[in-house]
Amino acid sequence: MVGLIAAPQKNNRSIESVLLDEWYPVARSSEIQPGTARSVQLFETDLVLWRGENTGVVAWLDRCPHRSVKLSPGTVEADTLVCPYHGLAFDAQGQCVKVPAHPNYPPPKQACTTTFPVLERYGVIFVSLGDPPVDVVPFAEWDDPDYRTYLSGGHRFRCSGLRAIENFLDVAHLPFVHAGILGVPEQPVIEDYEVQTIDTGIYMRNIQVWQPDPDGTGKDGLATYDYWTLRPLMVALKKERASGQTMVLLYCVAPISEEECVGWMWGALNYAHHIPEADLVAFQDTVILQDVANLESHNPKRLPLEPQMEFHLPSDRASLAYRKWLKQSGVTYGTVR
């Protein structure tokens, strides 16, 4: 992050680097066309995203360093973002290059915006408010021609992003919340499964859940999943069928605040090439929206990491391991404390 004039950073000092120095999805690439600007929020910070005809996408604090108004209502002109208040123009590096009231007066060097790292992956714009040491997590299937891919999101939830990730790792809710799609209420049993510790958190192997049509043959049976964490707020799932058909989901949640978040889900399938992308997205949206009522009724909305704050069942082994890993990693933002 650069910016010579101190900007009012909200709470960043209280956000641990394990969360802050990460990439988070904030908008679809298609939402920020050349010539447009838009505001988004991340970690209680208002950001402006914009793109010129000859610039990549740009992410700044949504604040003009002159009189501190929002820049997002401004206009994109000649690869600059022009503030709506006094018309100062800032180039893609955030430097003021034009002061309309004083055309012969060189803009002061300290007249620059607060900029943030930004990049585009998998059809989405990712921003970091910190200093991410590595790129966005690789998603090999996204670029594999054997796979067809789709994107669902962002879906806004009024709960901690950690609650949303834990819900993704929770298989025992499938027969009830996603009855008739991902589970069957009459077949709710979750057999014991194994949770391993890996470099990026936890790995749950061979989790089985009874589904109405796990193989696309119209017959009910057991579906088998592997789940693993990649980052505190990014997880993946793989479902492999005996036929070799494979589905991979990548799920990342961007915190708006400690009690609000936006979830983004990418899917990759090496089958179902005949199904229109819109139908796959509609299916995924349906499943995700079925989770909203429970996600938003958590009390507290933040995730408790101390085991005694809720009680646990054998099928909660993944949740417990996730909470333990978060605690060991020093995550506090979005937790009960």
Interacting residues toward ligand FES by CB under 6 A: 64, 66-67, 69, 83, 85-86, 88
Q: Which residue, 40 or 111, is less far from ligand FES as judged by CB?
A: 111
Least separation in angstroms between residue 88's CB and ligand FES is 4
Distances (CA, A) of 196 to 209, 224, 247, 257: 19, 17, 21, 30
Residue closer to ligand FES, measured from CB, 100 or 185: 100
Establish if 166 lies at the interface with Fe ion (CB under 5 A). Answer: no
| Cβ-proximal residues to 122 (8 Å cutoff; 6+ apart), any chain | 136, 139, 142, 149, 151, 250, 266
Q: Residue 47 or 174: which CB sits closer to Fe ion?
A: 174
User: CA dist 93 to 33, 127, 142, 187, Å?
Assistant: 18, 15, 30, 57
Q: How far is the CB of 172 from Fe ion (least distance, A)?
A: 10
Smallest distance from ligand FES to CB 57, Å: 21
**In whole angstroms, how close is the CB of 173 to Fe ion at the nearest point?**
6
Least Å from the CB of residue 110 to ligand FES: 14
Asked if 4 and 112 count as a contact pair (C-beta separation under 8 A), the reply is yes
DSSP 161-187: HHHHHHHHH--TTHHHHTBTTTB-TT-
Are 187 and 179 a contacting pair, CB within 8 Å? no
Distance CA 91, CA 292 (A): 40
Q: What is the 3-state secondary structure (H, E, C) of 14-55?
A: HCCHHHHCCCEEEEEHHHCCCCEEEEEEECCEEEEEEECCCC
Partner whose footprint covers residue 291, from ligand FES, Fe ion, none (CB < 5 to 8 Å by kind)? Fe ion
Q: Does 291 bind Fe ion (CB under 5 A)?
A: yes
Residue 65 C-beta: closest distance to ligand FES, Å = 8
Cα 312 → chain centroid: 27
Closest distance of CB 67 from ligand FES, Å? 3
**88 touches, from ligand FES, Fe ion, none (C-beta below 5 to 8 Å by class):** ligand FES
Please choose, out of 138-146, 276-284, 291-299, 328-336, the segment that lies near Fe ion by the rule CB under 5 A.
Answer: 291-299
DSSP secondary structure of 90-152 = EETTSBEEE-TT-TTSPPPTT-B--B--EEEETTEEEE-SS--SS-SPP-GGGG-TTSEEEEE
Between 9 and 187, CB nearer to Fe ion: 187
Partner from ligand FES, Fe ion, none contacting 260, C-beta within 5 to 8 A by type:
none
Whichever of 37 and 265 has its CB closer to ligand FES, that residue is: 37
In the bound state, the residue with its beta carbon closest to Fe ion is 291
Considering the complex, state which of residue 63 and residue 323 has its C-beta at the smaller distance from ligand FES. Answer: 63
- Dihedral sign computed on CA atoms, order 106, 110, 114, 117: positive
Of 27-35, 95-103, 202-210, 283-291: span binding Fe ion (CB under 5 A): 283-291
Nearest distance from residue 51's CB to ligand FES, in Å? 20
Residue 158 binding target from ligand FES, Fe ion, none, CB below 5 to 8 Å by type: none
**Does 141 engage in binding with Fe ion (CB under 5 A)?**
no
Distance from C-alpha of 87 to C-alpha of 10, rounded to nearest angstrom: 26
Residues that bind Fe ion (CB under 5 A): 291
